[in-house]
Structure 1
Amino acid sequence: MTELKTRLIEAAEQHVAFDGWSDVTFDAAVADTGVDAAVARAIFPRGAVDLAVASHRLGDVRMTAALQAADLSDMRFRDKVGFAVKLRLQQCGDKEVVRRGTTLFALPQHAATGSGLIWGTADAIWRALGDTSEDINWYSKRATLSAVYTATVLFWLGDDSAAHENTWAFLDRRIDNVMQFEKAKAAFKGSALGKALAGPLEALGRIKAPKPMTGYPGQWRGD
């Protein structure tokens, strides 16, 4: 994330609570930072929508840095996942910024972008925790964590408990649900029905995680 992007994002977030992720907020961020309007529009072609996208991704970057700096050696893996989600929410700062973003990405024309952002957060967490899966598990891990993260964010937005204790308890229960699902999935593979479906399950096992496209002319390597 470049310094210029970060400046515009942080300036915009000061106005989001009042004006949402709107053209008014975009123009105010440009005025506050003194960035040339043409340059700002080149960085964020869709204006406030792209600012909201960048704000979310900046949270992922900060979460990843905090997670890499933390000592996770004594944690169970399920606790590492919960800790990562908690760290990500702690990067959000003002709830109203998140609430306005949730409203923006609930709109039909931006729903796909919003879903992609949540998937990106789940992917960032798994990568930071050292996930090396390259088969269908790559997809299932991110899908389940995306669901956990989404539900936790919605709960957090309405939580007024001290230090968000209720949110962390809610998160813990959701992760327990995921762990129970994983245990059931493992048990199913060893069951009579699982063995009978070994062929279809093997076919699913051939699904591979996406690989980054490299070596193409004109490829953008920056943020």
Structure 2
Amino acid sequence: MTDLAPSPVAAARLQLALAIGENAAFDGWTARAVEAAALSEGIEPAVAALAVPDNAVGLIDLYGEGVDAALAERLPPERLAAMKIRERIRSLVWERLQIQEPAREAIRRALAILAMPQNLGKAARFSWRSADVMWRMAGDTATDYNHYTKRGILSAVYGSTLLAWLQDESEGYADTAAFLDRRIDEVMRFEKWKAGIGKTERPSLTRFLGRLRYPPR
């Protein structure tokens, strides 16, 4: 039995996802960005309007789905399988930033929109989904307490690294790369401690997440 081909609207939705973010750098997360993306992708504007959400938060969500799909294409399972777990997570976070580079200014706007009080719940859900996608790609199958701690920690790592990247003016984002390496080193130390001393002393996850989000300078 073969898989059914996606409908034209569903196919257009996926095709438009990244293009909308790239055009939102100029037009904001608006219908104008959708129309510009449709034109650049050779999709009828009327089809595009049916395929995508009609609000900024929905478009940001769709863009995130597009980033997830692109990440899976760039880092297939066989490539990740050859890496150690630290390298897998580092590569997934870094590649995610590279995918988003054409929409860097739009991401600034997206974060400002998601920081509005009425959008905080959705912002947390988007962050969790990104962390979950990366952990699943890395091969994580945990279903216990570790399932949640891993995703909470990676959400903090990715969120703080994203903010550092948005402010980075160094060549090749070298400062962000160094920042990411430091955050991952902290995570690895935490995991090692949790596996040792943490067996008899419950780790303070809240304190650790705070350190990742607001690292010492």
TM-score for both structures, normalised by structure 1 = 0.75
Deviation string, structure 1 residues 117-140 (Cα, Å, up to 9, x no partner): 111111111111111101111000
Bigger helix share: 2
* 1:7-18 → structure 2 map (5 Å cutoff): 7-18=15-26
Moved more, 155-164 or 92-101: 92-101
2:165 to 156, 174, 177: 156
Give the stretch that moved more between structures: 91-100 or 164-173.
91-100
Does the 8 A contact of 1:26 with 1:48 survive in 2?
no
- Provide, for residues 23-47 of structure 1, a one-character-per-residue CA deviation record: whole Å limited to 9, x for no partner: 44345556774232xx545433443
What is the Cα deviation at residue 15 of structure 1?
3.4
Identity %: 37
Q: SS of 2:173's equivalent?
A: helix
The reply on whether 1:68 has 2:93 as its aligned counterpart is no
Q: Which runs of 5+ in 2 are unaligned?
A: 1-5, 203-217
Q: CA deviation digits over 1:32-73, x for unaligned, max 9?
A: 74232xx54543344333122111111011112211166345
Q: Which residue does 2:95 correspond to in 1?
A: 87
**For residue 107 of structure 2, what is the aligned residue in structure 1?**
98
Give, as a single letter, the amino acid of the residue that structure 1 aligns with 2:148.
Answer: Y
- 2:142 is paired with a residue whose SS is coil
Partners of 2:28 and 2:173 lie apart in 1 by 24
Highest Rg: 1 or 2? 1
Residue from 117, 122, 131 that aligns with 1:122: 131
Contact 2:115 2:123 in 1 (8 A): yes
C-alpha distance in structure 1 between counterparts of 2:154 and 2:70, whole Å: 18
TM-score (norm 2): 0.77
Does 2:45 correspond to 1:35?
yes
The one-character-per-residue Cα deviations of 1:186-209 (angstroms, maximum 9, x if unpaired) are 223444x56xxxxxxxxxxxxxxx
The 5 A counterparts of 1:68-217 are 68=76, 71-72=79-80, 75-94=83-102, 95-191=104-200
Residue among 56, 65, 79 paired with 1:57: 65
* Distance in 2 between residues matched to 1:106 and 1:175, nearest whole Å: 25
Q: AA paired with 2:86?
A: R
CA distance in 2, matches of 1:77, 1:10: 28
Q: Distance in 2 between matches of 1:24 and 1:147?
A: 32
Deviation at 1:6, TM superposition (A): 3.4
Cα–Cα, structure 1 residues 172 and 10, in superposed 2: closer, same or farther, change >3 Å? closer
Aligned AA (1:185): K
- Cα RMSD for the two superposed structures: 2.4
Segment drifting more, 9-18 vs 53-62? 9-18
Question: CA separation of 1:178/1:40 partners in 2, compared to 1, >3 Å: closer, same or farther?
Answer: same
Is 1:4 aligned to residue 12 of structure 2? Answer: yes
